Chain A
Amino acid sequence: MWKSIIKPLNIVNKAFLSPTENVVHQQLRTTYVLKRKTPPRLHKKNSDPKPLRSRHYVYELVKNEELEKKANINVILTTYVEGLGNKGEKVSVKPKYAYQDLLLPGLAVYESPENVEKYKDFMTNPMSDVEAHSSPTAMLTVRSLSGIMLSVVMNKDTHWSLKPWHIKVSFRKCGYIVPEHAIIMPEQEIKGPNMDLENREFFVTVKINNKETVPVRCRIHHWSTEVKDRIPYASEFWKEKVEPIFDEHSSVLNSIPHKAELKK
């Protein structure tokens, strides 16, 4: 009995669920500009044109549209996109990137007159409903800074107390340009040389464009000018978890992803 029911069902299934033919509904570029290798001969006046020979059907490729570089297209962002811009901003991007990474996931819309009208308010007043970022690249910098462990190398022999310019120099040494006014130091003063502080953590807050803030994990290291006085090098010290200098810092430091965890 079941067989008799299933059989018509299968037919229905085939008819409705599986597509009968595979149709590509996308625009195809099939234009090739060609040139005859041998131009056909001229025909006489008041007579039929001469028949084409086989050599007249040999062509040379002049232009293949498929291989041509496609022009950028304009899109309007519907959200903040890292490295591109804020919501409502009009950006010009490569077409493939626009289709795959912006239009398809819904991060942007085409720059049609309707859409321009619709997103006009965001352009004039970006603070309307979501928080705007100070620049397209600010969040990329935040991401990069939150992943690093900054080594603050201080002297082992002379007295010091940690100042913003020490942090600035440490940042510059490892390839980050951070001006002094963008650095917010921990409230308590850190003084040295103090071997209890060696390889211990604290954090400084970096304020990008006076807007985005990011805590950065730092570690104190002691360094001596004399080679014999230097502390022996510990291999892969950044993978070990260590105690913070101040207990108040532990909650923030725990919230920053650790190097060792990032690797996994």
Chain B
Amino acid sequence: MFLNSIKQFSTIVQNHVNVNHILSQSVKSIQVRNYAARKGTRDRKAKKKVKAEVVKVGFVPHNQRNKLKLLAQREPLKFDDSWKRNPTDDVYVAKYYKWVVYPFAEAVKCHQETHSPEMYNKPNANLHVTIELNMQGEKKTRFVDNFTSVVKVPYNFDHGEERTIVVFSKNPDEQNEAITAGATLSGGSDLIKQIQNGDVSLQDFQYCIAHPNILPELVQLRGLMKKKFPNPKMGTLDVNLGKVVDKFLNGVKYQAVKDDYEKEFGCIKTVIGSLDMDIKHLEENFSVLINDVNSMKPRRPGTFIDRCILWSPPSQEVLKVDHAVFLKELNSKGSQNVFEKQEDYDKEEEEEKGERVAL
């Protein structure tokens, strides 16, 4: 009814007169625009509106909801007792002072004492080492990735693990050499075919080692091997197969693991020998391991290895050892190298920048 009356009214009023002027306030709400909107207005407005994506979160158990909050409250894993005082007396309560830093030989002797036949009676117990790392990369927000490696130590020991190794080579002599060194299986193109057929499973082997002469044929197995595929960086692609097999069979295996929350804290736990070995042999094993770990140090000033702890179950004692002594040679050179490298790095960066500007 009402609209009809408006229509009638507008027919009465002449066309050139604006209807809105005459109509009352309530009628103005149905305003009609007689001119076009500017081009692209709607598109612009649509672009401005950013759709907030609703991320669906599944059910989180109540005890895990404030996990980050709880982790933030946690005491930092990085050990720091620099605020504690040095002991002055010959007898003292250890917890009120800085940790005792034993020379390596003395720490081993301490463990040998606790494991002597008169006390724990386990003189052949394994000697474990915990290496705490500062995983800080070249920049504050960058961190060293988790890394795994096997080090050849000068004095072998029984690590108690069963390590299975498969070796590929075209030369039958080299295959035999690998087998005598202790490889589980070795072969050439036949073995590759067997693996492709499914007669031999790669799942049964922890390490795959290859001679460069068989590499073109081995490429077919890349999909099956995935990360195990031999490469020179890991040391699994080598000419001297006997040595490599020996390294992977008897070497010290270690894995540096970063903490999920405290990213700059990394930790390695491994075995370097048994307590009944000669202390000097243990020391050399330790030295080799430490230097191998330190080779992963990123190009930044400061130390990579924070602390080394020797422990040996069933005793619960943990003894901090002075590892810096073993790094000394590498350190004095390394620190220089680090600066040189740093400088090179800066130069490279500058050059890069320069190129960009030129472009």
Interface residues of A (CB under 8 A from B): 134-135, 137-138, 140-141, 144-145, 153-155, 157-160, 165-166, 169, 172-173, 175-179, 182, 206-210, 223-225
Identify the interface centre among B92, B100, B113, B122: most chain A CB within 10 Å of its CB: B92
What are 26 A-B contacts defined by CB distance under 8 Å? Answer: A134-B89, A135-B89, A138-B89, A141-B89, A141-B93, A145-B91, A153-B119, A154-B119, A158-B117, A172-B317, A173-B114, A175-B93, A176-B92, A176-B94, A177-B91, A178-B91, A179-B91, A207-B91, A208-B89, A208-B90, A209-B90, A210-B90, A224-B121, A225-B120, A225-B122, A225-B314
Q: Establish whether residues B315 and A209, one from each chain, have CB atoms under 8 Å apart when the complex forms.
A: no
Given contacts A177-B87, A223-B120, 20 further A-B contacts (CB under 8 A): A134-B89, A137-B92, A138-B89, A141-B89, A141-B93, A153-B120, A154-B119, A155-B119, A157-B121, A158-B118, A169-B110, A169-B119, A173-B316, A177-B93, A177-B94, A179-B91, A208-B89, A209-B90, A210-B90, A225-B121
Q: Establish whether residues A154 and B91, one from each chain, have CB atoms under 8 Å apart when the complex forms.
A: no
Q: A182 CA to B89 CA in the complex, in Å?
A: 11
Residues of B within 8 A of A182 (CB): 90-91
**Shortest beta-carbon distance from B65 to chain A in Å:** 37
Q: Which residue of B lies closest to A226 (CB)?
A: B121
Q: Establish whether residues A175 and B94, one from each chain, have CB atoms under 8 Å apart when the complex forms.
A: yes
Q: How many residues of B contact A (CB 8 A)?
A: 23
Q: A72 CA to B62 CA in the complex, in Å?
A: 49
Interface flag for B139 (CB, 8 Å): no
Residues of A within 8 A of B120 (CB): 153, 155, 223, 225
**Shortest beta-carbon distance from A79 to chain B in Å:** 20
Q: Establish whether residues B118 and A154, one from each chain, have CB atoms under 8 Å apart when the complex forms.
A: yes
Q: Which residue of B lies closest to A207 (CB)?
A: B91
Q: Top 6 nearest A-B pairs by Cβ distance?
A: A160-B118, A208-B91, A158-B117, A175-B94, A225-B121, A155-B121
A155, A165, A223: the one within 8 Å of B117 (CB): A155
Interface residues of B (CB under 8 A from A): 87-95, 100, 110, 113-114, 117-122, 314-317
Q: Establish whether residues A209 and B91, one from each chain, have CB atoms under 8 Å apart when the complex forms.
A: yes
Q: A157 CA to B110 CA in the complex, in Å?
A: 21
Q: A208 CA to B88 CA in the complex, in Å?
A: 11
Residues of B within 8 A of A153 (CB): 119-120
Known contacts A137-B89, A172-B317; A177/B100 CB under 8 A = yes
Q: Establish whether residues B89 and A155, one from each chain, have CB atoms under 8 Å apart when the complex forms.
A: no
Residues of B within 8 A of A225 (CB): 120-122, 314
Main secondary structure, interface of A, reads: mixed
**Shortest beta-carbon distance from A178 to chain B in Å:** 5
Q: A144 CA to B256 CA in the complex, in Å?
A: 39
Residues of A within 8 A of B110 (CB): 169, 172
Q: Which residue of A lies closest to B315 (CB)?
A: A173
Q: Which residue of A lies closest to B122 (CB)?
A: A225
**Shortest beta-carbon distance from A110 to chain B in Å:** 26
Residues of B within 8 A of A223 (CB): 119-120
Residues of A within 8 A of B88 (CB): 135, 137
**Shortest beta-carbon distance from B68 to chain A in Å:** 32
**Shortest beta-carbon distance from B14 to chain A in Å:** 62
Q: Establish whether residues A206 and B119, one from each chain, have CB atoms under 8 Å apart when the complex forms.
A: no
Known contacts A153-B119, A173-B315; A209/B89 CB under 8 A = yes
Q: Which residue of B lies closest to A153 (CB)?
A: B119
**Shortest beta-carbon distance from A94 to chain B in Å:** 16
**Shortest beta-carbon distance from A5 to chain B in Å:** 65
Residues of A within 8 A of B315 (CB): 173
Q: Which residue of B lies closest to A175 (CB)?
A: B94
Residues of B within 8 A of A172 (CB): 110, 317
Q: A155 CA to B114 CA in the complex, in Å?
A: 11
Residues of A within 8 A of B119 (CB): 153-155, 160, 166, 169, 223
Residues of A within 8 A of B117 (CB): 155, 158
**Shortest beta-carbon distance from B253 to chain A in Å:** 27
Residues of A within 8 A of B121 (CB): 155, 157-158, 224-225
Known contacts A153-B119, A155-B119, A177-B100; A169/B91 CB under 8 A = no
